[in-house]
Amino acid sequence: MSGRKILVVDDDAKTVDLVKLYLERDGHSVLTAYDGPTALQTFREQQPHLVVLDVMLPGLNGVEVCRTLRSESDVPIIMLTARTRDEDKLTGLDTGGWIPEPTTM
């Protein structure tokens, strides 16, 4: 997937900057959005190859953004969340996203 266009969506600018830094270092082109409506607009205009999507977003939450994206595209979606309940993870998976297991460093 080297050199692909990736949309990173999170309302926390520091998180976006960090994820963007690592993705660009690996040669990807990174698009950013900080709320749900902007994420959908950017996706539709730019057609990224992957979406990294926070669950808790202003304007339109990540679950709703994921549902909308899934109805329009089969682009891979990785969902980021601080929520750890199984119910929250299942909601993300049911909408068509993928939620990686947290890791400890």
> Domain-by-domain residue ranges, the chain?
5-94
Task: Work out the average pLDDT over 92-103.
Answer: 50
pLDDT exceeds cutoff 80 at 32: yes
pLDDT at 76: 94
Task: Work out the average pLDDT over 21-43.
Answer: 97
Its pTM stands at 0.79
pLDDT at 8: 98
* Class of domain 5-94 (CATH, top level): alpha beta
pLDDT exceeds cutoff 60 at 100: no
More confident residue, 82 or 58: 58
How far apart CA 36 and CA 12 sit, in angstroms, is: 13
Asked if 59 and 35 count as a contact pair (C-beta separation under 8 A), the reply is yes
* DSSP annotation of 74: -
